[in-house]
């Protein structure tokens, strides 16, 4: 099978594409798979790291706002549509699969015009604009959450699969857990709180975390914090201005990005994060309690919808982006970790929405539409 995966921008877009590609390769070892992305997103790290070729085009999305910048970006995006079509014409794939980012518009549209089967994975409970825009051009729409079904007209194209991810539930012995924590400079004797804001980092979470750490609030828990590759250096400067060395803070490990996220999620006791669809999926699979700080959106409260999938069943708490600070974040963490039995119950509730064998389900659907 020859496959093009279109994915760009964030780990939440790219990692599902990689998971689908890996499953196709596992089932059909002679498959040829390439990715289409941009030259500025994290796909330039994650895709080659996963062993796939990345071809880049220009894509910024089409904006109706009038300015010199948006005009230039609109022109570049239209150019990117042509670039995507050229790549697809030359590669001659059996299917084009989109997993997120502005890149999907050009790649899916080109494949549709060329008569090539198309599919998209919509991970959010509230579908993105691109998915809705492309609905009529898609042979299949894979959904991360059943909550999203009501937003689509062509129900026969929908398949609720869950969201593909590299994160799986893992059982570690005490010795294995101690080794992972020791490598981070942490202890097995304190509750571990994993904090992240997605591959790009999250400004509001990061600012609250800087204050929380420099004020030494985490006296009874330890932190693994993925601050985001673009924000890491700025955070390092702010922390060091307070007289702390970022590499030697007691009970704290700060990283730009966590590549072994499956391991770290599984050894953590509580997760503090944005509520991207990938994060919801991963937390449900590993069965952990969570505190969500949803990313605000002017077009739709997409991450609020995602967060509520777990909050409404008592598996997570929500702090709104405009409300978060070091005090309420710290108090929320301490409120949860003080009751280990309730933490365990929150984790079990999270597992109730977990979907398994996601990649197998998607592969079987792909086989149905690839002749």
pLDDT of residue 72: 72
Residue 244: inside a domain, yes or no?
Answer: yes
Nearest to 336 by CA among 269, 266, 286, 262: 269
Least confident of 76-85, 234-243, 326-335: 76-85
Instruction: Kindly provide the b/e burial profile for residues 27-53, where b requires at least 16 CB atoms within 10 angstroms of the residue's own CB.
Output: eeeeebbbbbbbeebbbbbbbeebebe
pLDDT of residue 58: 80
What mean pLDDT do residues 112-128 have?
92
pTM above 0.85, yes or no: no
Backbone angles phi, psi at 141, to 5 degrees: -125, 115
196 and 155 both lie in a single domain: no
* More confident of the two residues 14 and 71: 14
Task: Supply the mean pLDDT for the chain.
Answer: 92
pLDDT of residue 66: 66
Q: What percent of the chain has pLDDT over 70?
A: 94
Residues making up the chain, counted from first to last: 371
Backbone angles phi, psi at 62, to 5 degrees: -95, 120
Nearest to 16 by CA among 359, 361, 368, 367: 359
pLDDT of residue 201: 73
E strand intervals along the chain: 2-7, 32-37, 53-56, 95-100, 118-122, 140-143, 158-160, 192-196, 222-226, 252-255, 270-273, 290-292, 316-318
313 and 182 both lie in a single domain: yes
Is residue 90's pLDDT more than 70?
Answer: yes
- Tokens 């937390």 -> residue: 283
pLDDT of residue 62: 53
Cα–Cα distances in angstroms (integers) from residue 305 to residues 83, 123, 368, in the given order: 35, 12, 31
Q: Show the tokens assigned to 287.
A: 């069965």
Q: Which residues contact 255 (CB under 8 A, 6 or more apart)?
A: 224, 225, 226, 227, 232
335 and 300 both lie in a single domain: yes
188 and 88 both lie in a single domain: no
217 and 346 both lie in a single domain: yes
Is residue 309's pLDDT more than 70?
Answer: yes
pLDDT of residue 71: 66
Residue 168: inside a domain, yes or no?
Answer: no
151 and 199 both lie in a single domain: no
Task: Compute the radius of gyration of the chain from its Cα atoms.
Answer: 21
224 and 96 both lie in a single domain: no
Confidence of residue 131 (pLDDT cuts 50, 70, 90): confident
pLDDT of residue 9: 82
pLDDT of residue 61: 59
346 and 361 both lie in a single domain: no
Decide the pairing of beta strands 118-122 and 53-56. unpaired
131 and 45 both lie in a single domain: yes
221-257 pLDDT tens trace: 999 999 998 899 999 999 999 999 999 999 999 999 9
221 and 106 both lie in a single domain: no
21-60 pLDDT tens trace: 999 999 999 999 999 999 888 899 999 999 999 999 987 6
Q: What is the C-alpha to C-alpha distance for residues 302 and 281, in angstroms, rounded to an integer?
A: 15
Q: What is the CATH number of the domain that holds 226?
A: 3.40.50.2000
pLDDT of residue 225: 97
Q: Which residues contact 123 (CB under 8 A, 6 or more apart)?
A: 12, 16, 99, 100, 144, 145, 163, 276, 277, 278, 281
Q: How many domains does the chain fold into?
A: 2
Residue 229: inside a domain, yes or no?
Answer: yes
Containing structural domain, residue 222 = 174-351
312 burial type by CB count under 10 A (0-12 exposed, 13-18 middle, 19+ buried): exposed
SS3 77: helix
Bridge partners (DSSP) of residue 55 are 36
pLDDT of residue 78: 67
173-183 pLDDT tens trace: 999 999 999 99
Q: Roughly how many angstroms between the first and final C-alpha of the chain, as a whole number?
A: 10
306 and 184 both lie in a single domain: yes
Residue 169: inside a domain, yes or no?
Answer: no
Backbone angles phi, psi at 193, to 5 degrees: -110, 120
């Amino acid at each position: 099978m020859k496959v093009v995966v279109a994915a760009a921008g964030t780990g939440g877009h790219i990692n599902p594409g990689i998971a689908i590609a890996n499953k196709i390769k596992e089932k059909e070892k002679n498959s040829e798979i390439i990715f289409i992305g941009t030259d500025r997103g994290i796909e330039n790290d994650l895709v080659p790291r996963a062993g796939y070729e990345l071809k880049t085009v220009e894509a910024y999305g089409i904006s109706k706002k009038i300015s010199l910048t948006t005009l230039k970006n609109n022109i570049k995006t239209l150019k990117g549509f042509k670039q995507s079509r050229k790549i697809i014409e030359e590669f001659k794939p059996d299917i084009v699969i989109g997993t997120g980012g502005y890149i999907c518009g050009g790649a899916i549209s080109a494949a549709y015009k060329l008569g090539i089967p198309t599919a998209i994975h919509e991970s959010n409970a509230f579908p993105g604009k691109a998915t809705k825009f492309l609905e009529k051009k898609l042979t299949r729409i894979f959904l991360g959450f059943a909550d999203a079904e009501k937003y689509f007209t062509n129900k026969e194209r929908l398949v609720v699969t869950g969201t593909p991810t590299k994160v799986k539930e893992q059982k570690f012995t005490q010795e294995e857990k101690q080794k992972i924590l020791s490598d981070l400079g942490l202890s097995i004797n304190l509750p571990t709180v994993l904090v992240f804001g997605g591959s790009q980092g999250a400004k509001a979470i990061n600012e609250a975390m800087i204050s929380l750490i420099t004020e030494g609030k985490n006296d009874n828990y330890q932190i693994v914090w993925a601050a985001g590759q673009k924000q890491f250096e700025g955070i390092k400067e702010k922390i060091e201005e307070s007289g702390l060395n970022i590499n030697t803070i007691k009970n704290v490990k700060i990283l730009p990005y966590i590549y072994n996220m499956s391991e770290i999620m599984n050894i953590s006791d509580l997760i503090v994060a944005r509520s991207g669809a990938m994060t919801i999926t991963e937390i449900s699979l590993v069965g952990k309690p969570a505190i969500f700080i949803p990313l605000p959106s002017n077009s739709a409260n997409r991450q609020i919808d995602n967060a509520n999938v777990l909050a409404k069943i008592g598996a997570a708490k929500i702090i709104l982006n405009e409300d978060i600070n070091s005090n309420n974040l710290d108090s929320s963490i301490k409120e949860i970790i003080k009751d280990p039995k309730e933490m365990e119950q929150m984790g079990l509730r999270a597992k109730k929405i977990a979907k398994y064998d996601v990649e197998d389900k998607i592969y079987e659907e792909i086989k149905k539409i690839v002749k």
